[in-house]
Amino acid sequence: MIYIHIPFCKQKCSYCNFHFSTSLNFKDEMISAMKTEIRLRKNELENKSLQSLYFGGGTPSILSADEITSMIDEVMKYFSFDRDIEVTLEANPDDLDKNFLQQLSKSPVNRLSIGTQSFFNEDLKLMNRAHNASEAEGSIKRAQDFGFENLSIDLIYGSPTSNLEIWKENLNKTIALEVPHISSYALTVEPKTALESWIAKGKVASPLEEEQNKEFYYLSDFLKDNGFDHYEVSNFAKPGFYSRHNSAYWKYKEYLGIGPSAHSYNGFDVRSWNVANNQQYIKKLHTGILAKEEEILSQNDQFNEMIMIGLRTIWGVDIESLKSKFDVRTHEHFQHEIQSKIEEGILVIENNHLKIPEKHWFMADGIASDLFLV
């Protein structure tokens, strides 16, 4: 699978610390550089038949439909597509007007991931989103009108401008709109963000973990009651609408990341990442040099990652796979660390897979980190 990072946004959301620029001055040069990177890395994926192509960001929908199609055409020069390939475009509601959707519907893009975040203007204002509540709802309906049935929306819970009743209304609206996939995250205060500064200055209240916990479990119960599978801590889907791209990440599949700050993984022990600087990225690629660094993952790193990712999903950690991949010392550590948590009911073993019972999923990252090798 291939991930393409589009490092541009109209404006900076208050909670975001991803790599992007709000200036489009070098958009054409960036697209050219990314096409060069695709060509230079055409031999890196072992399986050339792609099951997933994902445009993330930043805001990929800031590009025109023609620019998106030209990027897809470039990938197709060097990789083949499975017949039912999933081609996802992350999009902001304010970009999804009729003209853009009409053009996009003629492209290979067959899945949209819409950054809705909330259907309430007070939430959106706090997040400094470029769209309003009306656009949030309208963009979903327009996308459906143009034939995009495979839709995912992002929703953020636990905001200081929200509460459980508002959260319930957000979810009721989502169900009414018949969206088949939802990615939902607690509002997190990341370093060097506007939100962190506002909280430090007392302009905004800090998110409350107790409230986020309550809203998370309501989210899970409500969506399951409405036919969704809770297949990863932050992801819910109707049967047949799981994200193939993200599922491949969670199953340790090989992937190739194109664009500044994008990461790649060989499926075993090598991870690489591109420079998180637009000008440096363009300059290097202009001279035919890859703008990336790489690291060899230690056995500890590989083990910790397998535990962290696996315990966030319904599939859990395959104990046989873990046993065959790591040495005796690692497996002994694993058996020792899980024992007390199994006795407490925080971990369970089902069909030789280690899992966290769903009632403890809000604490999944902490539970996983307790098992890490250091």
pLDDT higher than 90, residue 21: no
| Average pLDDT value over all residues in the chain | 94
Contacts of 48 (CB under 8 A, 6+ apart): 78, 79, 80
Mean pLDDT on 219-233: 97
The pair of three-digit structure tokens given for residue 196, joined into one six-digit string: 């962190």
pLDDT higher than 80, residue 20: no
188/213 Cα distance (integer angstroms): 13
pLDDT higher than 90, residue 76: yes
Point out the least confidently predicted range of 18-32, 64-78, 162-176, 320-334.
Answer: 18-32
Choose among 56, 74, 146: nearest CA to 103: 146
User: What is the percent of the chain with per-residue pLDDT over 70, rounded to a whole number?
Assistant: 100
pLDDT tens digit sequence for 198-208:
999 999 999 99
The pLDDT-based confidence of 282 (bands split at 50, 70, 90) is: very high
Choose among 357, 310, 313, 312: nearest CA to 334: 310
pLDDT higher than 90, residue 48: no
Q: What is 299-369's CATH topology?
A: Arc Repressor Mutant, subunit A (1.10.10)
**pLDDT score at 14:** 87
Can you give the residue ranges of every domain in the chain?
A: 2-250, 299-369
Residue carrying structure tokens 């709802």: 137
The pLDDT-based confidence of 23 (bands split at 50, 70, 90) is: confident
Contacts of 27 (CB under 8 A, 6+ apart): 8, 63
The pLDDT-based confidence of 114 (bands split at 50, 70, 90) is: very high
Mean pLDDT on 66-74: 97
**pLDDT score at 162:** 92
**pLDDT score at 47:** 75
User: What is the percent of the chain with per-residue pLDDT over 90, rounded to a whole number?
Assistant: 90
pLDDT tens digit sequence for 166-176:
999 999 999 99
pLDDT tens digit sequence for 124-143:
999 999 999 999 999 999 99
CATH code of 2-250, in short, is: 3.80.30.20
**pLDDT score at 46:** 76
pLDDT higher than 90, residue 165: yes
**Residue 4 φ/ψ, nearest 5 degrees:** -120, 120
SS (H, E, C) 87-144: EEEEECHHHCCHHHHHHHCCCCCCEEEEEEECCCHHHHHHHCCCCCHHHHHHHHHHHH
**pLDDT score at 12:** 84
pLDDT tens digit sequence for 227-280:
999 999 999 999 999 999 999 989 889 999 999 999 999 988 999 999 999 999
The pLDDT-based confidence of 164 (bands split at 50, 70, 90) is: very high
pTM score, two decimals? 0.94
